[in-house]
Amino acid sequence: MSTSFERYQCQMALPGFGMASQELLKNARVLIVGMGGLGCPTAQYLASSGVGTIGIADDDLVSLSNLHRQILYTPDDVGIYKVDVAAKKLQQQNPSVSIIPYRLRITSSNVMELISEFDLIIEGTDNFETKCLLNDSCVLAGKPLVYGAIYQHEGQVSIWNVLQKDGTYSPNYRDVFPNAEESQVPNCREGGVIPTLAGLIGCMQANEAIKYLIRSEETLAGKLWMMNVMSGRTQIIKLRKTSVQITGLVQTIRLMDYEEFMQHQKNFEIIDVRTKEEHQHFNMGGKNIPLDELEGHFSYIFSISKPIVIYCQSGKRSMEAARKIKKEFPEKEVFSLQNGIDGIPR
């Protein structure tokens, strides 16, 4: 153990840190959801700082378009599950910590059991549905959640749902973004992101996690830290609790991969929610109902007896369409084609 503590001498030399804080890190259990642009630097710095147990959850494969910002991976890793690559490299980075990979997508059916094993949850996801799901599950379980988000040149960091001295909890995601799952902000692939931003925000998430774990009173609980990397400007906004009540988890939309879709497509009713022009240019069959016309076709959807598979170009519009259908017809079995037409093997 003396060897492993020797590697932490520089942080242990900090005023107020010492052996006590290092022991807190060693005994901590942290779950990182999403091993992309934010999860990579977060995991690397938590592993290097000696956080004893780090769970990493993701169901995605490394792709070439990831590499400009997800610098834990190399071209040799393309096509391999991110958590498999990350677990191996993080373990090599610090053999004294325990890395637990979870090759899965977080859903309403598995999230509560998964987070129950950890002291702190960190989300590095790129979709609002999972951000909301993690927030709501952490509120219900009384767990703190480190939040991070990036878009183009701007990023945000906070820590939600921290237990305060008076027994109350600090603001959570719903207090700031009450209807986030209905948002239309593009993801990194669609809207673009400067790669250095992912590193900066991921490092800030790791920093926030370390502060929380060593029981610092200087966390971002009740605050939202924001940065624009083009101007270099940062600001902190104070947050407040609202009357939003979380009583349960929103049911997540099930994803279907391309292989499964091709094997069983005859068993499904297929809907393309792209525009008419996109559908005419190229399609995978099924009825074309553009997303902005969906509500006008609810009578048709009501008449469908088969499970429904919805697709679009990237999977974003199909997820939104699936949520609208499930909200109107909770009993229907609805799937979104994972990664849409962009996910078709070339």
DSSP per position, 224-241: EEEEETTTTEEEEEE---
| Alpha carbons 123 and 135: distance in angstroms, whole number | 9
Domain ranges (residues) in the chain: 2-238, 254-343
pLDDT reported for residue 185: 61
pTM equals: 0.83
| Alpha carbons 182 and 327: distance in angstroms, whole number | 12
pLDDT reported for residue 186: 61
pLDDT reported for residue 344: 85
Q: What is the pLDDT along the chain (346 residues), one digit of tens a residue?
A: 344 688 999 999 999 999 999 999 999 999 999 999 999 999 999 999 999 999 999 999 999 999 999 999 999 999 999 999 999 999 999 999 999 999 999 998 899 999 999 999 999 998 888 999 999 999 999 999 999 999 999 999 999 999 999 999 999 999 998 877 665 566 666 678 899 999 999 999 999 999 999 999 999 999 999 999 999 999 999 999 987 888 778 777 888 889 899 989 899 999 999 999 999 999 999 999 999 999 999 999 999 999 999 999 988 899 889 988 988 888 889 999 988 998 887 6
**Phi/psi of residue 26, each to 5°?**
-60, -35
| Alpha carbons 308 and 333: distance in angstroms, whole number | 6
| CA 211 to chain centroid | 21
For the residues of 37-93, what is the DSSP string, one character each? TTHHHHHHHHHHHT-SEEEEE--PBP-GGGTTT-TT--GGGTTSBHHHHHHHHHHHH
**CATH number, span 2-238:** 3.40.50.720
Are residues 271 and 289 in contact, defined by beta-carbon separation less than 8 angstroms?
yes
| Alpha carbons 300 and 332: distance in angstroms, whole number | 13
CATH topology of domain 254-343: Oxidized Rhodanese; domain 1 (3.40.250)
